[in-house]
Structure 1
């Protein structure tokens, strides 16, 4: 069973602002939704940061109907693609202009005691669309079994129990906010406080209300680290978790000083859910994402598929296999086949290093974060970490630009003090790393292009469209 049946308890199951729902009330409203959508084939859920999204999601799971979360901020073109590609038959939530599907409203006060049979564990639960960085977004099909395996693996790694109170303010249309941050809490049985907006003061208020387990992306943690009062309020937290992008070392160390702990990091993708994570107990190695969770295996492969040694230095493409993997891209068997090796490993497209103890460090995307310059392979992440340790640098992104002599030259985009001296920054990196890893060009910008989860859009920087 993916989500256990509700048990009587005094604490709310979910809280969004002033809106609270007990587990019994949540299941009653969700079962009313299940009555409406049963047999629909595929349901599109308007995934706003609201309790209605949770009720709609749980209702589809109760009914055994596949659901595709549609980003609340999706533009008309993206929304049309997702709805057309997924073949959704119903729109669950508030009506939206230009959505030509029958609408099923979500009533938080709705109640039903109807009984729905437990779906097959291998049946489709969710279709999550990729970010579309290499073309039109593709729908990653996830089974109920894969969701359960991923959530149980994380609960084990983080010692997540019903005694915890989860806090986050993440969007509810990605793996981080929806699967981990909603279904994870419901499967474990721990209450969820969603802050609606991911502001430092909202996290602090949730800490005062009993929050013990906090999820955030690096942008959120950076802002909390710059707000000493909010950071101090998190001193009583059991665990801080950062994901969706690498957490800069200076931000992690600032949080360690203010809260008494550095956040644990983890790694996953839309296609794999979470596969690698730091443990709640044990070392907090800043810049690394931990070891595989239960049920997951990883390995590194080179450009020709050859094994790459786990020596903590050698870079290879990270390959994954195990219980958390998706079933394939919806309606795209060729694309699915292309991302798997002949012996069953999923090719993540991410470059990583692994040490002898199985700890993983993600260098970046193979396509944009491995820069081939002057015969060397340079990981953008390593250069970015050095740049972020330079006084006055707040944000950094490194890309490779075409170069007639070097093949690619390293270009750094920096956000920070207006008086940053590019030449001094370049010399600093050369003194911290090998000389060939220094940027050949530094550009000072007001901001870096990011997606909804805070990830820097490097293709836009490299193409000059940012």
Structure 2
């Protein structure tokens, strides 16, 4: 079963787990979740797909679990989506109902409320492993958002692989304040805790103060969260008793990694994945944690690098190639997009991530970035934007950095760096990179800005810079 009755060990012991989930000021026991979610299941059981406004609330968790119990596909809708994006998601997904509170932009769908205190103990048969649990919509950076089809089998395989890598057990208390419409916050951060039986504290907002108050052993955060904690020494020191600090959804800057390690005594765990693949690469609880590197393939996952011609790229820690993956945690395709689905798979069954990476002789992975924006071809050289950004972040006063390639008649592409912080003359930054890396990797232009454009998960939106 995907949720294993919300905690098999508790079922065996007869325990109820009073604080199975705490979200904001609400506490839900295991029986609260099972009873209220089954009540939801009774009201949606005849539907094929339903939309859920994925606010960080108990109602969202009950709505999602209710859909899983009934075998109905859930379509999480980002609460900050604009009218056009929301209309696209509702129309493209074919959602037949809106599960949750009435909203002015429900697309005319019938509204089914989630009643916190309703209870049902009706028993539903376990849906098939290949049935689709979620349609998760991508960020839409290359066009209208695409619906990623995630099966129950893929979710279970992905969670179990991470539990093995992170030694995640029911003895942990997971803490995070991430959005509930992506893999990181919803699938791993909610379903992972329910499947494993580890209590969950969702802080609603991922602030340093909220993370400290939660008192957990396992913390999930994006780099923006960890950067704020690293800038608050008291809060960082208060997390020293945790077991693991996990960072993902975007690269963790090396200076932030080092500050966290110095303040907490814990080297952060970094990992890599995307909506289509769940998490396929991670550093391990019992293994090396190297700043700027995301570790090894998790159990069941395989990776390889290919160049533009489809030829193998050596695993020498330097050569850049497009990362391809395969494994049981991968998605079942894009909803209503057979051509887009076909375009992302190779003839021999590997998913083309669109990310560029390097792999060292020991199998450690470093993600350079997106092929479309982070692989820069300048003067005949292939340059990863990530390593230039890492170098810039090591310069005093630079708080954030984003590097892109812009068209150049002479070089093909010219390296331009956007930086946030108190920085000196551009020439000093350019010289710093030229000294630390190869000369051809230096930015030709530095643009100082007040902030970098980011999405809800903290990823820099480089297409907005370009």
Alpha-carbon distance between aligned partners in 1 of 2:120 and 2:452, rounded to the nearest angstrom: 48
1:258-277 aligned within 5 A: 258-277=263-282
The DSSP-based 3-state class of the residue aligned with 2:188 is helix
1:415 pairs with 2:420:
yes
1:151 pairs with 2:126:
no
> What's the counterpart of residue 77 of structure 2?
70
Alpha-carbon distance between aligned partners in 1 of 2:157 and 2:34, rounded to the nearest angstrom: 22
Shift of 1:274: 0.6
Deviations along 1:374-421, one digit per CA (max 9) or x if unpaired, are 11011000000000000000000000011111111000000001x521
Shift of 1:311: 1.1
> What's the counterpart of residue 54 of structure 2?
47
1:102 pairs with 2:110:
yes
Alpha-carbon distance between aligned partners in 2 of 1:74 and 1:135, rounded to the nearest angstrom: 15
> What's the counterpart of residue 34 of structure 1?
41
Alpha-carbon distance between aligned partners in 2 of 1:172 and 1:98, rounded to the nearest angstrom: 19
The DSSP-based 3-state class of the residue aligned with 2:239 is helix
> What's the counterpart of residue 5 of structure 1?
5
Shift of 1:4: 1.3
> What's the counterpart of residue 349 of structure 2?
344
1:394-433 aligned within 5 A: 394-417=399-422, 419-433=423-437
1:285 pairs with 2:293:
no
Decide which of 123, 132, 146 is 1:124's aligned counterpart. 132
Alpha-carbon distance between aligned partners in 1 of 2:196 and 2:31, rounded to the nearest angstrom: 16
Alpha-carbon distance between aligned partners in 2 of 1:332 and 1:28, rounded to the nearest angstrom: 37
Change (3 A) 1:119 1:10: closer
Deviating runs (4+, > 2 A) in structure 1?
6-11
Decide which of 311, 325, 328 is 1:306's aligned counterpart. 311
Alpha-carbon distance between aligned partners in 2 of 1:192 and 1:448, rounded to the nearest angstrom: 31
Alpha-carbon distance between aligned partners in 1 of 2:126 and 2:400, rounded to the nearest angstrom: 48
Shift of 1:9: 3.3
Decide which of 423, 441, 445 is 1:441's aligned counterpart. 445
Deviations along 1:320-376, one digit per CA (max 9) or x if unpaired, are 011011000001111100000000100000000111111110000000001100110
Deviations along 1:122-157, one digit per CA (max 9) or x if unpaired, are 011111111111111100101100000000000000
Q: What residue ranges of structure 2 are gaps of 5+ in the alignment? A: none
Q: TM-score, normalised by structure 1?
A: 0.97
Q: TM-score, normalised by structure 2?
A: 0.97
> What's the counterpart of residue 160 of structure 1?
168
Shift of 1:98: 2.8
Shift of 1:460: 0.7
Aligned residues: 458
Alpha-carbon distance between aligned partners in 1 of 2:5 and 2:408, rounded to the nearest angstrom: 60
Alpha-carbon distance between aligned partners in 1 of 2:413 and 2:43, rounded to the nearest angstrom: 56
TM-align CA RMSD: 0.8
In terms of mean alpha carbon deviation, does 103-112 or 160-169 score higher? 103-112
Alpha-carbon distance between aligned partners in 1 of 2:179 and 2:243, rounded to the nearest angstrom: 23
Decide which of 137, 140, 143 is 2:145's aligned counterpart. 137
Deviations along 1:411-459, one digit per CA (max 9) or x if unpaired, are 0000001x52111111111111000000000000000000000000001
